Amino acid sequence: MSKTSANLKKYSGILLHPTALPSKRICGGFGQEARSWVKLLSENGIGAWQFLPLSPTDSTGSPYSSPSGFALNPWFLDENDLVHDGFLTIEKLKELPGSVFDDSSRFDNFKLANIRSRKLGEALRESWNSQNAEAHIEFNNWKEKQWWLSDHALFMEIRFQNNLKPWWEWPKNFANYNRKVLDKYEHDHRNQLLEHFLIQWHLFRQWKKIRLLAKELDVLLFGDLPFYVSRDSSDVWANRSLFSVLSDGELLSQSGVPPDYFSSTGQLWGNPVYRWQRHKLSKFRWWRKRFARQFEQVDLLRIDHFRAFNAFWNINGIDKTAQRGYWSPSPGLQIFSLLRKQYGKKIPLAAEDLGIITPDVERLRDHFDLPGMKILQFAFDGNLDNPYLPENINNYKSIVYTGTHDNSTTNGWWNEIDENTKQRVYEKFSSKEESSPAWMLIDIGLSTKSCLFISPLQDLLDLDNHARFNTPGTVSDNWSWRINDFDEKLLNALSKYS
């Protein structure tokens, strides 16, 4: 932590998703590796840990297209903690698929991770009756408060029984959310549903430990919330009237962004858009519950695609490109006003306001005093009015990044840009010490007048694009990079950053 002036403190943070933490398991998660990471941040005076959505992923590993937006990702559940707490035996631990995992530098076997999570759920259910009364009471008290849990478990189990087909391809009574049929299914499959309940309860317990530790050590947990939810999700399946989708799964309207310099046809995302009038009738109850669920888990929440809270690009459900879409208004002012009434004047939100943002979107952001984002990799195009140039970042309520999870690593970006752009970076770099491109941008970012500077861990480690976390518009080789260990290189990087 440094000071930008006599009164304003500047904080630093690191962007790293839990899957990328070092672990002997198939991927990182909520176990000792996460607690050690929080301690390392605190020891080095690094005040924020930012990560991607903690919800389950789609088949490509993306946490931005989740089958269940209120649930936590079962991959994160740490089996060693379960053994320590008496919920799992060492014998059952050894039987789990993927227990011997040689490649700790990549995580790309998402199918194996799902199989392992299912087997873990079975093991927890088999030992459940032998657990003491205190555990049962704690579980039941927690379960009664999770309004979303039953739909989540039903959705995931019926989906599994139907070979992971989307819900609109299930047998009609299931696809149509026939409550009488579902009640019978709940009774007949109570053991399988219990497995989903137990997985989520243990995830809650493990994340709670991390949350308490982070609070104790003054490390801010910085989460992420996609604006849209997936069409093939429990959220849409169980709350169909709130989304632009028919009972057979066909889309009335779908999401995307309009044509621009990068794409003459725009981007077609394929999520159902919101039926805002239905949400208004309930005073945005679903949205209030959605935010409440997130605020249980994090201290600060980034809203992905924030501009859609002002207006969204509305595309006909049958269109194959985004060209014929049009802007439709969203009730962001009403939603955030309700949040302010509930959580106080300072709502713990940050706006992803990248790209072409109109004045009315900026007014919505500023009305609720939300910090926006500034990306240094976007700054050096030669335009003196570029809002990402360090000298143009004059708003303390800004969060500055070298790049995000969707960008190249800074060293990878350096290999892609021309010599004129590189020269403009050199001109902004004030240190006399020789530095890599990544550390030049880190130095520039730390010198800005923003309240918070975030670097992806890959930049601190001076990595090129082999460590890139996601390339938008592609479905393979994403979400896979991870660190091998908290080794000397990493420890030195954290020390230098602090």
CA neighbours closer than 13 Å in the CB half-sphere of residue 482: 25
| Closest C-alpha among 4, 35, 17, 47 to residue 497 | 47
Residues taking part in catalysis: 304, 352, 406
Per-residue pLDDT tens for 62-104? 999 999 999 999 999 999 999 999 999 999 999 999 876 556 6
User: In the prediction, which pLDDT does 361 show?
Assistant: 98
User: In the prediction, which pLDDT does 106 show?
Assistant: 85
CB 441, CB 413: distance < 8 Å: no
The predicted model scores a pTM of 0.96
* Mean pLDDT of the residues in the chain: 95
Residues in Cβ contact with 12 at an 8 Å cutoff, skipping those fewer than 6 apart: 1, 2, 45, 46, 47, 48, 446, 452, 453, 454, 455, 497, 498
Angle in degrees, CA 65, 68, 69, rounded to 5: 75
User: In the prediction, which pLDDT does 102 show?
Assistant: 57
Per-residue pLDDT tens for 21-66? 999 889 999 999 999 999 999 999 999 999 999 999 999 999 999 9
Per-residue pLDDT tens for 298-350? 999 999 999 999 999 999 999 999 999 999 999 999 999 999 999 999 999 99
Q: How far apart are CA 459 and CA 467, in angstroms?
A: 9
User: In the prediction, which pLDDT does 5 show?
Assistant: 46
Q: How far apart are CA 206 and CA 297, in angstroms?
A: 11
Amino acid at 323: Q
Q: How far apart are CA 491 and CA 495, in angstroms?
A: 6
Residues in Cβ contact with 283 at an 8 Å cutoff, skipping those fewer than 6 apart: 338
Low pLDDT (below 70) residues in the chain: 1-7, 100-104, 432
User: In the prediction, which pLDDT does 429 show?
Assistant: 87
